[in-house]
Amino acid sequence: MANIKVIVAGPRGRMGFEAVKLVHNTEHFDLVAVIDRKHDGGNLSDVEGFQGIDAPIFSDIKECFSKVEADVLVDLTTPEVGMYHTETALQYGIRPVVGTTGFTKEDLAKLDALTKEKGLGCIIAPNFAIGAILMMKFSQMAAKYFKDVEIIEMHHDQKLDAPSGTAAKTADLISSVREAKVQGHPSEKETIPGARGADVEGMRIHSVRLPGLVAHQQVLFGSAGELLTVRHDSFNRGSFMSGVKLSVETIMNLDVLVYGLENIIE
């Protein structure tokens, strides 16, 4: 079988850097281009940290897709550009694997329609780490029995979006098995706005941002006389790479939108 031709958007970012190395080091993947805001027209091998990794650099995604033959776009950029890149890839017949977070429900609905129209797969993965996917699934299982839930997500202080994509996805999975419930005291009042966190159907999400952290989440389930805590920690960005690899391989056989890797892991 032919190698899978991959474009990475956001190569100089924390995640993009790891993804470029993964694609470069995987025998059946070819890194055919990168999309970067800087170094337009240059080659990645001339950029500090990427010596020996040959790939043309484009700043304009449409120019890149017009000039370079590719199967998959791996997007690891920002909430502002992630949606534009994803839609553009589908328009050009390229399958998007999207790690970028911050997509709204409206964005997902739009992408669902576009993948159907184009007959192309698209993976939106709020978290590529296998442990995080299990943490979300275990939380969904627990929510059948515990209706009172608080999600605490903790990330490095350079993160742009809050709550994290993982926390939003966790709330989404829990909502699918739990009826909306107002938690806490019915008369509770915040004396400092935001003290009780974001409200998703009565569930609370708290976002912690601190230097030194990578990506961590705990989901707390309380009931009379007991507390269940489901927790996951990513200590480095290598933890996400097996999920990126699986996504690039799997998307070649998909023709629908997949939101969350729990839908493709066996």
Ligand X SMILES: NC(=O)C1=CN([C@@H]2O[C@H](COP(=O)(O)OP(=O)(O)OC[C@H]3O[C@@H](n4cnc5c(N)ncnc54)[C@H](O)[C@@H]3O)[C@@H](O)[C@H]2O)C=CC1
- Residues identified as active-site: 155, 159
Q: Is 15 annotated as ligand-binding?
A: yes
Q: Which of 64, 240, 241, 258 binds ligand X (CB under 6 A)?
A: 240
Interaction of residue 159 with ligand LZUJQKHR, rule CB under 6 A: yes
Q: Is 10 annotated as ligand-binding?
A: yes
Q: Is 3 annotated as ligand-binding?
A: no
Interaction of residue 121 with ligand X, rule CB under 6 A: no
Residue carrying structure tokens 């474009």: 7
Q: Is 196 annotated as ligand-binding?
A: no
If the CB atoms of residues 22 and 215 are measured against ligand LZUJQKHR, the closer one turns out to be 215
Sheet holding 72-75, edge to edge: 57-58, 29-35, 4-9, 72-75, 95-98, 122-124, 257-259
For residues 111 and 146, the answer to whether their CB atoms sit within 8 Å is no
CB atoms within 10 A of CB 192: 6
Q: Which of residues 108-127 bind ligand LZUJQKHR (CB under 6 A)?
A: 126-127
If the CB atoms of residues 139 and 166 are measured against ligand LZUJQKHR, the closer one turns out to be 166
- Which of 5-13, 39-47, 88-96, 195-203 is the region at the interface with ligand X (rule: CB under 6 A)? 5-13
Q: Which of 151, 146, 155 has the alpha carbon at shortest distance from 170?
A: 151
Assigned token pair, 251: 């998307």
Interaction of residue 164 with ligand LZUJQKHR, rule CB under 6 A: yes
For residues 104 and 53, the answer to whether their CB atoms sit within 8 Å is no
Interaction of residue 78 with ligand X, rule CB under 6 A: yes
Q: Which of 26, 77, 86, 166 binds ligand LZUJQKHR (CB under 6 A)?
A: 166
Residue type, 87: E
Residue carrying structure tokens 């999920």: 243
Please state, in angstroms and rounded to a whole number, the distance separating the CA atoms of residues 260 and 264. Answer: 8
Residue 13 interacts, among ligand LZUJQKHR, ligand X, none and using kind-specific CB cut-offs from 5 to 8 Å, with ligand X
Interaction of residue 232 with ligand LZUJQKHR, rule CB under 6 A: no
Interaction of residue 215 with ligand LZUJQKHR, rule CB under 6 A: yes
If the CB atoms of residues 68 and 81 are measured against ligand X, the closer one turns out to be 81
Residues in contact with ligand LZUJQKHR by the rule CB under 6 A:
101, 126-127, 155, 159, 164-166, 215
Residues in contact with ligand X by the rule CB under 6 A:
9-10, 12-16, 35-37, 76-79, 81, 99-102, 125-128, 165, 240
